[in-house]
Amino acid sequence: MNEHNEIGQAPVDQRIQELLNRSIDGDISAIEQDELDQLVATSPAVRTLNGELRAVTRLLDELPELDPPQYLQNAIERQVRLPAQNNTHLKKPGRLGGWLSANWLRTGFALAAGVVLTVSVYEMGSEPITGEDSTRMVGTMAKRDLNGQQGELLDSVRLDTDKLNGLVELRQKADLFTLDVQLNSEGPSELVVNLAGRGLEFDGVSRIQDPVDAVSVVDGAIHLASSGEQHYTVSLRRISKAQGDEPLELDFFADNELIQQAELNVSKF
Amino acid sequence: MHKDNDAALVNDCKRGDRRAMSQLVSQYQRPVFNAAYRILGNKDDAADATQTVFLKVFEHIADYDQKFKFFSWVYRITVNESLNQVKKRRAQESLDDGQASPWQGPAEALDSKRICRRVQDALMLLNDEYRSVVVLKHISGCSYQQISEILQLPEKTVKSRLYSARQLLKTTLQDDETAKPGH
């Protein structure tokens, strides 16, 4: 493969291109490097190509390393069955492992990739929940009253650990449910709300005082990542009464570690 | 790449030690996720691929042949799984959809984020064989020999693919004046 220089310089032959690449990778002898240095010094085409290849390499090397999602390690660990623990994958999985393995392992990852939804978080005012509000609610927005019309308290869970503490309350008004989340963590934390098979759908997140950093919905579970003080509400809407009585499952993570699991009853009686 | 430590952890995993499993996941989830992301160009897909990689690793841990390096095995599964996802996705949509348009605006100074995006877009234009080699070399920091072991290719082929891939990336990036290398 010869390089045709854009400014009319002579093409660089394949061996020199290879030397340039090997030099970039530090895979070149001293003698070869001397030869290449001379070529770079005397040939504008080689000099240009050398600069361009090094620039490309630098761009590649400088691509930033990304942080994996916070839930990932726990999601993996909860699905893994080691050989000595269990010879099959039919053992009853953990909550998160249940919906992950059931859907991902059995039906394949193509489907799972298609249902990942990233949701924006909106800062909301303080307006009461009304029947009209709930019917108007679509997508990512929910309305909530801080002073009175919060809906009926169905259940709650309190956390009091070193890494994560706070309170989550589940309220209901008609077909609308809200999770009022007030948490405080030293480091990054994540709340996972499993809705799968409960006849409820995610209807949005609204910030009350402190924001949630990232929200995603994967295969029927809402992942809410944040840190420090957090106060927000998660809105859920009943879409099927027949399935609506199974408790909500909540997983609380802090610093990538499962801190607490809880169930909140969606029916008071 | 912690060869000796990996071997001990793998042995512990074979005996059902979940702490060892947790340690291996902790150790490798970041490089696996990053390699998958650079092959797939999408964080959600990369997270899915990462989960699948580890499920496969531990599902077959009892069969793992320790004459191969653990990281090579993990990376091989990572590359294969990522490429599988690419194939599935290609069957559904064009890889370019929703990705190329942001970079076709007027020439202007590019901040580092946009340059990274442009480089990632250029990576996605490479064929799977070239992209895998580039990712293993420049993202995962593997040597020629390690790439050769991971992809089960002769070193000579690895080098040839890498050099050709760089050349193609150079040309692609030069096509967009705003992302010209060296700016």
Question: Which domains are present in chain B?
Answer: 1-93 (1.10.1740.10), 95-183 (1.10.10.10)
- The predicted model scores a pTM of 0.56
Of the spans A15-29, A153-167, A186-200, which averages the highest pLDDT? A15-29
Cα A15 from Cα A264, distance rounded (Å): 69
With a cut of 70, say whether residue A45 has pLDDT above it: yes
Contacts of B17 in chain A (CB under 8 A): 82
ipTM higher than threshold 0.90: no
Least confident of B21-25, B107-111, B129-133: B107-111
> What residues does A252 pair with on adjacent strands?
A191, A260
The confidence band for A235, taking pLDDT boundaries of 50, 70 and 90, is confident
Rg, C-alpha atoms of chain A = 28
A224 or A107, greater pLDDT: A224
The partner residues of A46 in beta bridges, in order of sequence, read none
Q: What percent of chain B has pLDDT over 70?
A: 83
B17–chain A Cβ distance below 8 A for any pair? yes
The more confidently predicted of residues A62 and A198 is A62
Q: With pLDDT > 90 as the criterion, what percentage of chain B qualifies?
A: 64
Lowest average pLDDT, out of A29-38, A92-101, B118-127, B156-165, goes to A92-101
Strands (E), A195-247: 200-210, 214-218, 221-238
Residue, of A266 and B138, whose pLDDT is higher: B138
- The CATH number of A95-264 is 2.60.40.290
User: What are the two backbone dihedrals, phi and then psi, of residue A156, each rounded to the nearest 5 degrees?
Assistant: -155, 160
In percent, the amount of chain A with pLDDT more than 90 equals 23
Tell me, yes or no, if B167 comes closer than 8 A to chain A by beta carbon. Answer: yes
Q: A148 versus A139: which is more confidently predicted?
A: A148
- Report which of B89, B91, B118 is spatially closest to residue B102, judged by C-alpha positions: B118
Q: Where is average pLDDT lowest: A42-46, B40-44, B107-111, B144-148?
A: B107-111
- pLDDT at position A9 is 52
Confidence band (pLDDT; 50, 70, 90) for B4?
A: low
Identify which of A139, A136, A236, A154 has the alpha carbon closest to the alpha carbon of residue A195.
A236
Banded pLDDT at A102 (limits 50, 70, 90):
very low
**Can you tell me whether residue A73 is helix, strand or coil?**
helix
Q: How close A38 comes to chain B (CA, Å)?
A: 21
Which of A134 and A77 is assigned the larger pLDDT?
A77
B100 pLDDT more than 80: no
Predicted confidence at residue A80, as pLDDT, reads 87
B148-178 pLDDT, tens digit each: 999 999 999 999 999 999 999 999 998 765 5
Average pLDDT over residues A33-51: 93
Q: For residue range A66-90, what is the model confidence (pLDDT) as tens digits?
A: 999 989 998 898 888 887 654 433 3
> Residue B109 pLDDT > 70, yes or no?
no
Question: Band of the pLDDT at A10, cuts 50, 70, 90?
Answer: low
**Most confident option among A239-248, B33-42, B88-97, B111-120:** B33-42
Position B97 pLDDT exceeds 50:
no
Structure tokens of B72? 């090579």
Measured distance CA(A209)–CA(A231) in Å, rounded: 5
Are the CB atoms for A99 and A220 separated by under 8 Å? yes
Question: Which candidate from A21, A58, A109 shows the least CB-CB separation from B163?
Answer: A21
* DSSP code, position A159: E
Structure-token pair, residue A111: 């489907």
Q: Domain map of chain A by residue range?
A: 14-61, 95-264
pLDDT, residue A144, reads: 43
Residue A105 has pLDDT above 50, yes or no: no
Longest dimension (CA), chain A: 87
Q: Does the pLDDT value for residue B37 go beyond 70?
A: yes
- A183: tokens are 């948490």
- Please say if the pLDDT value at position A190 is more than 50: yes
User: How many residue contacts between A and B have a Cβ separation below 8 Å?
Assistant: 142
Distance from CA of B142 to the nearest CA of A (A): 11
SS3 B111: coil
Restricting to B residues 31-90, those with a Cβ less than 8 Å away from any Cβ of A are 33-34, 37-38, 43-45, 47-52, 54-55, 58-59, 61-62, 85, 88-89
